[in-house]
Amino acid sequence: MSHYVILSTLTDEGRKTIKQKPERILEVDNEIERMGVKIIKQYAVLGQYDFVSIVEAPDIDTVMRMSVEIGSRGSVQLLTLAAVPVEEFINNIK
């Protein structure tokens, strides 16, 4: 399984939605899990992004499909970064 960091920014529509129904965040998390992407940890943050999620997926194609599906709804913009454990990174560059 590969790990990814997803930085999420809510759109105006997304902010309205979670203000009216904050539990929508957990509903979307469940949808993401059903798409084959396991959420390891998720944080609400202040600043340029609204959420940081650490996820695990079998491959990049699964993450891309999830990203397109969630992003196409218009409530959030996603920036997805592949994450490599430092130990693995060190071994790979030797």
Please give the Cα distance from 1 to 17 (Å, whole number).
32
User: For the chain, what are the domain ranges?
Assistant: 2-93
Fold of 2-93: Alpha-Beta Plaits (3.30.70)
pTM, two decimals, is 0.91
Return d(Cα 23, Cα 28) in angstroms, integer: 9
Check pLDDT > 90 for residue 37.
yes
pLDDT for 72: 96
Please state whether beta strands 2-10 and 76-83 pair in parallel, antiparallel, or not at all (unpaired): antiparallel
Q: What is the mean pLDDT of residues 1-13?
A: 96
Alpha carbon separation from 69 to 34, 37, 74, 77, 94 (Å, rounded)? 12, 12, 10, 11, 38
Residue 1 clears pLDDT 90, i.e. is over it: no
